[in-house]
Chains A and B, each alone.
Chain A
């Protein structure tokens, strides 16, 4: 039996805006409001407003909350200062990625872990299990937060007039409690678009107030509501991995080219953490005999590579990799993809690389990620 999809606190608002809704990880979410390419360009050039209330919030509090996170995650969370955030991962004993996370240190003994909607239960269960023996409490806070993101070059200007927080002092990957449009919010300078922007965690009952205030404050700057479709093309252009595509339980952070998130030199728990031995081996393997590497592919033609399509040698069709994400890039005006390819084909400019698009070999150029980097 399938359960009815869950609806965010902004559901009625999305419908009144004429959104095309889609089922995403058990949630009924806006896919797009009008043209997804126009939404994408709005975020690149002006600002976009996203409902991300499907994301999974988990709170960790207590004297050993930092030690618990050092043990449970691959990162060195005890080194994060209150008010700052980290991109990190949670792995299983074999080093496989269970999820990628953003962890906010709200106070010395208080952290907010934000998991992908599809993995939130897995992460909650793993953290609860790994918390045994630590003086720290793990709480499921999914029902206690809505999450609204405002992203794009105009985001700071739009939010600035609605908040008491000093946005100039709020650095990238920092988060502070404050008010937005008169209601309490955790204001974080994070995002998944490759642009400057903010993510605002509010009480579900305050979400509409915040959404409406941002909509009105952004009207003159060209802010538009944005769905998950453009969120995906924005993150793809920015070279950001998506769980279930670039990251899976069958992949270690080293396989994904993200070994830098694994911190072996931890000062807590005698350096022990879940997955440590397997990850040490994965790091060594990656050094000695590099696994397939995550690269960017840019089309020479116009047919679009999709997740799961084979990457092949243009000459004889030998399988050399697999596409993990692909889409027509609005910024480049061409189809692009992220793909894992054999190391011999991973250098930018490697000739003779093609994607098998439904039976025909289409030539592709290997490039370094990201496809798009904003000018600061």
Chain B
């Protein structure tokens, strides 16, 4: 169960892509999806919302529990994944692909958040 090398990871178990034209894509890691179990409902921020690195910006409901979704970077939401809202199981089946959650235009002026490389995140989670 490998974490893609090209992504960066937060200690709250989100991943994000390197910014393209200033916009990064965000999702939760396979480790997080496996720990949650079957995700049945995702509540995402709305397009235009401003999110702050390390702050909750949504939630994920699974059979056994509810978990906050944290923004790994600060910025403005430019797009949310309607497919995952309609079919939350995508978070479990394809956390790094079809299960992405939202896109964020990164606020360059905000402090650099502490993010991990794939290897660092793998070591952090122990798998």
> Could you tell me which B residues sit within 8 Å of A by CB distance?
34, 37-38, 40-41, 43, 61-66, 92
Contact = CB atoms under 8 A, between A and B. Distances in A.
A37 B66 contact: no
A225 interface: no
Interface in A306-346: 306, 327-328, 335
Contacts of B34: 20
Contacts of A306: 65-66
Given A304-B66, A327-B63, A358-B66, 9 more contacts: A20-B37, A31-B37, A31-B64, A36-B37, A37-B38, A302-B41, A304-B61, A306-B66, A328-B40
Pick from B37, B63, B65 the residue with the most CB of A within 10 Å: B63
Contacts of A20: 34, 37
Contacts of A233: 63
A229 B41 contact: no
Nearest to B61: A304
Contacts of B64: 31, 229, 327
Nearest to B38: A37
Contacts of B92: 35
19 contacts: A20-B34, A31-B37, A37-B38, A37-B40, A37-B63, A302-B41, A303-B41, A303-B43, A303-B66, A304-B40, A304-B61, A306-B65, A306-B66, A327-B64, A328-B40, A328-B61, A328-B62, A328-B63, A335-B61
Q: Is the interface of A mostly helix, strand, loop or mixed?
A: mixed
Nearest to A40: B63
Nearest 4 pairs of A and B residues by beta carbon: A328-B40, A302-B41, A37-B38, A304-B61
A229 B37 contact: yes
